[in-house]
Amino acid sequence: MKRTVISILMVALLLAVAAPVLAAEYDFGGETVTYVAWWNIFADVKERIAEAEELFNVKVKLHPIYPWEQDYTQALIARLLAGDATNDIWVIQNMVAYYDLLANNAIFPVSEILPADYYDKFNDAEAQLMRALDFRGKTYTFGHGLDTPYPHHMWMVLYNKELLERENQPDVYELYKAGEWTWDKMTEIARAVTRDTDGDGTTDQFGLKFLNVLMPTILGVTNGASVTREDASGKVVFTFDEEPAIEALEQAYQWRTVDKIVGGDDAALFAGKVAMDIIPVYGLFERRAQLVEGGERFALAPLPKGPRADRHAYPQQAIEGRVMSADVENPEALMALDAYIFQGETDSSMDEYMLKYAFNRQSAEVLLEALENFTGEANFFMEGVLGGHGFHDTVEQVLNGVKGAKVAMSEIKPAMQSRLDTLFGQ
């Protein structure tokens, strides 16, 4: 492949300018660039790919690997070991492959070639997403979001305003604007509306729809907790045994097992039999037709603040990114090509985001505020590393009252720390 010699500063500048300039700097000589992902990331950029292939003298192809059919991490490492990944761009996620690839030194740190102001050209929320997966002071992910340059996995609270009014409960959005939207307020409202409405002796109206093993980690972020953390030496340590996390576990247990405020489904929510649902933003799109039809009956709010929090948090369920293999031949050229294919106009992307996820004016306002205040938090960065190794099973025991939160986390901590130590060689 032919390559014009340019400075690192020029790389960052080139990624932000017109395609002809990018193409003039990089000629792939007819080589193939392979994207690896578990869904069709090319669906909305086919025309851009065709243009890029001509401008950059390159062939761009998608190589699908499905994690539910084979080990995604091992498939990527196999490409690296076979020498097939020098022109690869891999799609990863905090829950899919990323940390295992890091542990195997299989991906290239882009922070080694880009100046600090590279991310200034992205919107704040998008830059936060890319930097959220920084590890031990280095950045590995790059590029605009594949579906949208804005977070769409953020957990929010969707609620039925009509039900709350009927039950003489305060409006969640008004509590949020007044700085009073907290765990305690959610508890009060959920308890007040959970009841048997038809007198048959069975509870048929609930305060909250969703509560599974993810809930404690979601609540944990709203209380300053994290499942893992890097200490001053760079060691990754298990931290969900700390007090903010224990409080989140105990709150989730209280709601599900003691208060019994959790129940119902989507049908019950839209029928006015469930007050609130903790839901990722993409779930709004899946229910958009019903929400739009419902008009002002439904509203959106951030997650409530935990007792230790002084701000609302917007944890992501999943953070996706693109990375290059450790033996990449020309990272600048791949990033330039990727920028041309996926870089969109922020203004139009925001319009598309709102059209896709907002269902009324109030929800649009809350989503805008969420994007402005998002700081790159996720409820479980290393879910793929620890979730299936006993963590989720133990959380389920806590939620069901089999074990107390402190005892359960104390018991599992050595195994979780051992998993981290082995994976990262620390």
Lowest-confidence segment of 95-104, 346-355, 394-403 by average pLDDT: 346-355
| Domain harbouring 59, CATH code | 3.40.190.10
**pLDDT category, 117, cuts 50, 70, 90?**
confident
- Residues 70 and 193 both lie in one domain: no
**Mean pLDDT across the stretch 398-411?**
97
* Whether residue 401 has pLDDT greater than 60: yes
25 or 220, which is more confident? 220
* pLDDT for 120: 80
- Of 331, 354, 377, which residue constitutes the final position of a domain? 354
Q: Which residue range(s) make up the domain with 141? A: 2-150+318-354
Q: How far is CA 271 from CA 188, 274, 300, 422, in A?
A: 22, 8, 17, 50
Whether residue 132 is found in the same domain as residue 7 = yes
* % the chain with pLDDT above 70: 92
3-state secondary structure (DSSP) of residue 205? strand
- 54: CB partners within 8 A, 6+ apart: none
Q: Which residue has the higher pLDDT, 76 or 123?
A: 76
Among residues 354, 380, 408, the one where a domain terminates is 354
Closest CA to 38 of 97, 81, 101: 97
What is the structure's pLDDT at 118? Answer: 81
Is pLDDT above 80 for 297?
yes
Residues 207 and 348 in one domain: no
Q: What are 173-205's pLDDT values in tens digits?
A: 999 999 999 999 999 999 999 999 999 999 999
pLDDT band with cut points at 50, 70 and 90 for residue 123: confident
Q: Across all residues in the chain, what is the average pLDDT?
A: 90
Number of domains in the chain: 2
Task: Tell whether 133 and 19 lie within a shared domain.
Answer: yes
From residue 219, give the alpha-carbon distance in Å to each of 193, 237, 405: 21, 20, 14
Per-residue model confidence (pLDDT) at position 81: 96
The predicted structure's pLDDT at residue 343? 73
Kindly state whether residues 209 and 136 are assigned to the same domain: no
Domain boundary, last residue among 328, 354, 380 = 354
